[in-house]
């Protein structure tokens, strides 16, 4: 039996539901395996049904073998209502955090059951990864590592940020990625002080920092990594900033193991950056979990007191950003373990001067 479904069903009593509807695409992919763009799962204690339309009947039959596949036909509400009747459902859970106000109006009018919000129940189940998920994340991150090695041979004075971003994308897709985790960030020179800069037609110049934050999707799972390099010789100030960020990152990594709160791990890196005098220049959290989505909870952040568990996958990405000067970020993606961590990113981190 599908143990993900078992985990969800074990929550039914606590949630006060007899069945749950799942419409959010990462949630239904996680529970069923179906990766298409339109589906609703109906999961009761004894039955799991995937309702989709004509376009996806054949695909969902292949991808979601544990589920009974039903064509929604002309009214998905009729299909759900007949399941509600068959299965004798009184309280029907729904993903309130993914339901718009207007959609709620429609389902509360059309469905013959009491609707119960399940909040982030499925997202919480998704936090601790299975071995097959870790395998996809490992593969996705290794494609990123290969792309970084490749791009070092591509970057030179006169190449634009957009050209670098495009080269990264082509490389990752050729290496087997299904897509990008997010639009790649390539920021050079003074643009690198913007943590989420959009690649522009600015040409890389001698003396520029070049920060590249990118990742790809492999079988639905996202990778994420950041490296900053210098074109030409680094100045003393560039070295000082780079080494401060690196030191913060390495110290946070050494701290990681299960049982620690997210805000504690964040504080290790933040203290090093503050002590070096750059506290105001690190305005984002240290890291986020990753999986089917690029940004998942919990976080390494001053606001997150979630205790990390074994086999959560999380990024460690401190940075220093100085407007008018430039910035540095170094990001790895790691698996939290009971006695430490496994780093999925293997690209070098000592300052590279191209
Ligand atoms: Mn990240």
Average pLDDT of the chain to the nearest whole number: 98
68 CA distance to ligand 1 middle (Å): 37
What confidence category does residue 2 fall into, taking pLDDT thresholds of 50, 70 and 90? confident
318 CA distance to ligand 1 middle (Å): 10
182 CA distance to ligand 1 middle (Å): 10
pLDDT digits (tens, 9 = 90+) for 101-146: 999 999 999 999 999 999 999 999 999 999 999 999 999 999 999 9
288 CA distance to ligand 1 middle (Å): 7
13 CA distance to ligand 1 middle (Å): 36
pLDDT at 353 over 70: yes
79 CA distance to ligand 1 middle (Å): 40
Residue 175: closest CA among 213, 148, 212: 148
Residues 6+ apart with CB under 8 A from 312: 127, 128, 129, 258, 289, 298, 335, 336
266 CA distance to ligand 1 middle (Å): 14
Average pLDDT over residues 5-18: 98
Residue where the block lists tokens 């299965």: 87
159 CA distance to ligand 1 middle (Å): 25
96 CA distance to ligand 1 middle (Å): 26
Residues in the chain: 354
198 CA distance to ligand 1 middle (Å): 15
203 CA distance to ligand 1 middle (Å): 25
**What does the CA dihedral 307, 121, 125, 315 come to, rounded to 10 degrees?**
-50
317 CA distance to ligand 1 middle (Å): 7
41 CA distance to ligand 1 middle (Å): 30
pTM for this one?
A: 0.96
Q: In the chain, what are the domain boundaries?
A: 3-126, 131-343
What CATH class does 3-126 carry?
alpha beta
pLDDT digits (tens, 9 = 90+) for 72-93: 999 999 999 999 999 999 999 9
Any idea which fold 131-343 has? Creatine Amidinohydrolase (3.90.230)
* Res 1: pLDDT: 58
Q: Identify any residues that bridge with 214 across adjacent strands, giving them in sequence order.
A: 225
37 CA distance to ligand 1 middle (Å): 25
pLDDT digits (tens, 9 = 90+) for 204-252: 999 999 999 999 999 999 999 999 999 999 999 999 999 999 999 999 9
Q: What does the alpha-carbon distance between residue 64 and residue 44 come to, in Å, rounded to a whole number?
A: 16
* Res 15: pLDDT: 98
287 CA distance to ligand 1 middle (Å): 6
pLDDT at 203 over 80: yes
100 CA distance to ligand 1 middle (Å): 27
Average pLDDT over residues 17-33: 98
> Which tokens hold the place of 275?
């002590």
224 CA distance to ligand 1 middle (Å): 5
44 CA distance to ligand 1 middle (Å): 36
Average pLDDT over residues 51-63: 98
310 CA distance to ligand 1 middle (Å): 20
157 CA distance to ligand 1 middle (Å): 27
| Percentage with pLDDT > 70 across the chain | 100
* Res 93: pLDDT: 98
Residues 6+ apart with CB under 8 A from 16: 91, 116
115 CA distance to ligand 1 middle (Å): 35
Average pLDDT over residues 6-34: 98
Residue where the block lists tokens 């005098």: 277
Residue 89: closest CA among 46, 44, 47, 51: 44
pLDDT digits (tens, 9 = 90+) for 312-326: 999 999 999 999 999
Give how far Cα 127 sits from Cα of 56, 169, 258, 297, Å.
28, 27, 13, 7
289 CA distance to ligand 1 middle (Å): 9
Which residues make up the environment of ion ligand 1, defined by Cβ < 5 Å? Answer: 224, 315
């Amino acid at each position: 039996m599908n143990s993900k479904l078992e985990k969800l069903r074990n929550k039914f009593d606590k949630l006060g539901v007899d069945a749950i509807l799942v419409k959010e695409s990462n949630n239904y992919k996680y529970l069923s395996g179906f990766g298409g763009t339109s589906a609703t799962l109906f999961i009761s204690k004894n039955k799991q049904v995937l309702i989709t339309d004509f376009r996806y009947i054949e695909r969902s039959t292949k991808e979601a073998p544990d589920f009974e596949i039903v064509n929604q036909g002309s009214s998905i509400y009729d299909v759900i209502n007949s399941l509600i009747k068959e299965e004798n459902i009184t309280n029907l859970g729904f993903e309130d955090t993914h339901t718009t106000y207007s959609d709620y109006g429609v389902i509360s009018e059309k469905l013959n059951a009491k609707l119960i919000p399940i909040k982030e129940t499925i997202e919480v189940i998704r936090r601790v990864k299975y071995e097959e998920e870790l395998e996809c994340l490992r593969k996705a991150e290794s494609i990123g590592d290969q792309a970084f090695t490749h791009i070092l041979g591509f970057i030179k004075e006169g190449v634009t940020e957009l050209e670098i971003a495009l080269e990264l994308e082509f490389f990752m897709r050729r290496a087997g990625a299904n897509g990008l985790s997010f639009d790649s960030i390539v920021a050079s020179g003074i643009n690198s002080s913007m943590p989420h800069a959009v690649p522009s037609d600015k040409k890389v110049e001698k003396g520029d920092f070049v920060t590249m934050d990118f990742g790809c999707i492999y079988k639905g799972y996202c990778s994420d990594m950041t490296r900053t390099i210098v074109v030409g010789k680094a100045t003393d100030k560039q070295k000082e900033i780079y080494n401060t960020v690196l030191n913060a990152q390495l110290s946070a990594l050494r701290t990681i193991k299960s049982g620690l709160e997210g805000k504690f791990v964040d504080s290790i890196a933040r203290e090093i950056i503050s002590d070096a005098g750059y506290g105001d220049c690190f305005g984002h959290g240290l890291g986020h979990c990753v999986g089917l989505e690029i940004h998942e909870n919990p976080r390494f952040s001053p606001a997150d007191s979630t205790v990390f568990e074994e086999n959560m996958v999380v990024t460690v990405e401190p940075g220093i950003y100085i407007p008018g000067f430039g910035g540095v970020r170094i990001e790895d993606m790691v698996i939290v373990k009971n006695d430490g961590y496994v780093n999925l990113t293997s690209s070098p981190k000592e300052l590279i001067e191209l």
